[in-house]
Amino acid sequence: MIAAPPGELLRAPLFHTPRNPFQDSSALESFSDGGLLIRDGRVAGCGDYAALRAANPGVATVDLRGGFLLPGFIDTHTHFPQLRVLGGLGRSLLDWLEHRALPEEALMADHSHACCVAKRFVHSLVSHGTTAALVFGAHFAPATAALLEAADAAGVRMAAGQVLSDRNLRPELHQAPERAYRESSLLIERFHRRRRLIYAVTPRFALSASEAILEVCQTLLREHEGLLFQTHLNENVREIAEVARLFPWASDYLAVYERFGLGRTGAVMAHNIHPTAFELERLASSGAAVAHCPCSNAALGSGLFPLRHHLNAGVRCALGTDVGGGTGFGMLKEALQAYLLQRIAPDGMLLHAGHLLYLATLAGAEAMGLRDETGDFRPGKSADFVYIRPPAESPLAAVLEREQNPVGTLAAIFTLAGSESIREVRIEGSVVYRSDEGGTR
Ligand SMILES: [Zn+2]
- Give the model's pLDDT for residue 438: 45
Query: What distance in angstroms lies between residue 323's CA and the mean position of ligand 1's atoms?
Result: 7
DSSP, collapsed to helix, strand or coil, labels residue 3 as: coil
The pLDDT-based confidence of 441 (bands split at 50, 70, 90) is very low
* Average pLDDT rounded to a whole number, residues 106-131: 98
Residue in 237, 276, 148, 251 with CA at minimum distance from that of residue 200:
148
Per the prediction, the chain carries an average pLDDT of 96
* Dihedral pair phi/psi, residue 90, rounded to 5°: 100, 5
Strands 430-436 and 130-136: unpaired
Cα 204 to averaged position of ligand 1 atoms, centre (Å)? 8
Evaluate if residue 3 carries a pLDDT over 90: no
Measured distance CA(4)–CA(43) in Å, rounded? 12
Q: Ligand 1 centre and the CA of 78: distance in Å?
A: 6
What integer pLDDT is reported at residue 201 of this predicted model?
Answer: 98
Rounded distance from Cα 321 to ligand 1 centre (Å): 9
Q: How far is the CA of 107 from the centre of ligand 1 (A)?
A: 18
CA of 12 relative to ligand 1 center, distance in Å: 36
Q: Phi and psi for 153 in degrees, rounded to 5?
A: -65, -35
**Distance between Cα 23 and ligand 1 center (Å):** 28
Distance from residue 430's CA to the centre of ligand 1 (Å): 30
Predicted pLDDT of residue 119: 98
State the distance from the centre of ligand 1 to the C-alpha of 296, rounded, in angstroms.
8
CA of residue 173 to ligand 1 center, whole Å:
16
- Segment 242-271 mean pLDDT: 97
- Cis omega (within 30 of 0) for bond into 324: yes
Mean pLDDT, residues 256-273: 97
**Rounded distance from Cα 77 to ligand 1 centre (Å):** 6
Measured CA angle at 356 (ends 354, 360), to 5 deg: 120
Mean pLDDT of 48-71: 97
Q: How far is the CA of 142 from the centre of ligand 1 (A)?
A: 20
Rounded CA separation 386/363 (Å):
17
| pLDDT of 5 | 66
257 CA to middle of ligand 1, Å? 16
Quote the percentage of the chain above a pLDDT of 70.
97
Give the pLDDT confidence of 303-360 residue by residue, as tens digits. 999 999 999 999 999 999 999 999 999 999 999 999 999 999 999 999 999 999 999 9
Average pLDDT over residues 111-140: 98
Burial of 88 (0-12, 13-18, 19+ CB in 10 A): middle
- 439 versus 396: which is more confidently predicted? 396
Task: Report how far ligand 1's centroid is from the alpha carbon of 140 (Å).
Answer: 17
Q: How many angstroms does the Cα of residue 270 sit away from the middle of ligand 1? A: 6
Contact predicate 262/217, CB 8 Å: yes
Using H for helix, E for strand and C for coil, what is the string for 46-97?
A: EEEHHHHHHHCCCCCEEECECEEEEECEEEEEEEHHHHHHCCCCCCCHHHHH
> What is the Å distance from ligand 1's center to 291 Cα?
9
- Given pLDDT bands bounded at 50, 70 and 90, which one contains residue 85? very high
Q: What is the distance, to the nearest Å, from the Cα of residue 196 to the centroid of all Cα atoms in its chain?
A: 15
Distance 193 CA to ligand 1 centre (A): 24
- pLDDT surpasses 60 at 427: yes
Average pLDDT over residues 251-277: 97
Q: From the CA of 405, how far away is ligand 1's center (Å)?
A: 36
In this predicted structure, the answer to whether residue 439 has a pLDDT above a threshold of 50 is no
| CB atoms near residue 369 (< 10 Å) | 17
Q: Separation of 79 CA from ligand 1 center, angstroms? A: 6
Amino acid at 391: P
CA–CA separation, 367 vs 228, rounded Å?
10
pLDDT digits (tens, 9 = 90+) for 279-305: 999 999 999 999 999 999 999 999 999
- Give the pLDDT confidence score for residue 4 in this predicted structure: 65
Cβ neighbours of residue 138 closer than 8 Å, sequence gap 6 or more: 80, 81, 105, 108, 114, 144, 147, 162, 163
Residues 121, 215: Cα–Cα separation, whole Å: 30
Question: For 121-134, what is the mean pLDDT?
Answer: 98
Distance 143 CA to ligand 1 centre (A): 18
Q: What is the pLDDT of residues 365-387, one digit of tens each?
A: 999 999 999 999 999 999 999 99
Contact 187, 141 (CB under 8 A): yes
Across the range 94-101, mean pLDDT stands at 96
**232 confidence band (pLDDT: 50, 70, 90):** very high
Span from the CA of 226 to the centroid of ligand 1 (angstroms): 22
Kindly report, residue by residue over 145-194, the tens digit of the pLDDT.
999 999 999 999 999 999 999 999 999 999 999 999 999 999 999 999 99
Q: Binning pLDDT at 50, 70 and 90, where does residue 440 land?
A: very low
- Distance in Å, CA 93 to ligand 1 centroid: 10
Residue 66 CA to ligand 1 center (angstroms) comes to 37
CA of 294 to the centre of ligand 1 (A): 12
- Cα 231 to averaged position of ligand 1 atoms, centre (Å): 8
Q: How far is the CA of 116 from the centre of ligand 1 (A)?
A: 21
